[in-house]
Amino acid sequence: MSNSYRVAILGATGAVGAELIELLESRNFPVVELKLLASPRSAGTSLTFRGETLPVEAVSETSFDHVDIVLASAGGATSKLWASKIVAAGAVMIDNSSAFRMNPDVPLVVPEVNPEALNHHKGIIANPNCTTILMTVAVWPLYQVQPIRRMVVATYQSASGAGARAMEEVKQQTLAILQGETPKTEIFPYPLAFNLFPHNTPINELGYCEEEMKMINETRKIFGVSDLMISATCVRVPVLRAHSEAVNLEFEQPLSVEKARHILSTAPGVELVDDPKANYFPMPIDASGRDPVLVGRIRQDLSHPCGLELWLCGDQIRKGAALNAVQIAELLVEKQLLGLRR
């Protein structure tokens, strides 16, 4: 990465935006100019990058002129509004929303799984859903050795998945409950402190919520297997940061626990945390603020000879969002795939 690039962060004042700024600096991404963009409500503030104070600007028609890469994390409606203008300006948009994930012309990329999908981008690249990213990083190395017939996953999703305001809401709810007061809800439909509930996205006619369908459809697209059998149950839990998932895998042929442990111990983006004697396995508190997906509790499924169980935790804001986007940007630079159209 010898050249330098002009980067814009759309949604710079959010939780993921803050993480994007930190990652661009800590990973020494070759940024020659960084634009921080947000809604007019958030404009006028300032943030720090490499010791320099940068203003947050209100996104406008000219915001993407002379920009090479746009890291977008401002929601689907905002991404749809600005996508065509970003592409027309000659920039590549790496979008963290769900707006373009299932568009057949838009690559949906997890760098450890399907980096080759970037070769066919047309100016927009989609970042998968956080739970999908974490699961595919852990499952793909096993899938490459032994094809998987069926996946069943239950997620335990932290407040961070709903943004910085949701995390603050859980803190305030916790204080209220401990003081004997009624907790207030604004971001979530129900109190999350000392509570949990099925994921609060719309339910379809089959009884699955939107978050569950994202995991099903996105994993099929990333793996390139349109008929892969997947079932998901997504749950919000009173954890501030880092998601957890219990994953049941049915392989076409048996895969031993020992071999699975060996595969995952050297898999990119994975850290094996599997100590049955100490009863020590991945926890959100250990995954928070870290890059790898922690995987452990690997065991034989006693109900099926070709089944394995595993447990994982990963930081939703880092690998589940910002880190994956920055890794995509790094691959674009490394492979010279920015394809500027000026």
Active site members: 130, 243
Owner of token pair 């895998």: 249
CA dist 219 and 132 (Å) reads 6
Report whether 144 belongs to an annotated binding site.
no
Q: What is the DSSP string of 19-55?
A: HHHHHHHHTT--EEEEEEEE-TTTTT-EEEETTEEEE
Query: Do the Cβ atoms of 263 and 304 come closer than 8 Å?
Result: no
Query: Do the Cβ atoms of 76 and 69 come closer than 8 Å?
Result: no
Report whether 42 belongs to an annotated binding site.
yes
Report whether 290 belongs to an annotated binding site.
no
Report whether 101 belongs to an annotated binding site.
yes
Report whether 160 belongs to an annotated binding site.
yes
CA dist 154 and 132 (Å) reads 12
Report whether 236 belongs to an annotated binding site.
yes
Q: Rounded to 5 degrees, what are φ and ψ at 26?
A: -70, -30
Rounded to the nearest angstrom, the gap between the alpha carbon of residue 1 and the centroid of all alpha carbons in its chain is 24
Report whether 191 belongs to an annotated binding site.
no
Report whether 14 belongs to an annotated binding site.
yes
Structure token digits, residue 111: 């760098």
Report whether 212 belongs to an annotated binding site.
no
Binding-site members for substrate are 157, 210, 236
Residue ranges of the binding site for NADP(+): 13-16, 41-42, 160-161, 183, 316
Q: Residues within the annotated binding site for phosphate? A: 101
| Residues annotated within a binding site | 13-16, 41-42, 101, 157, 160-161, 183, 210, 236, 316
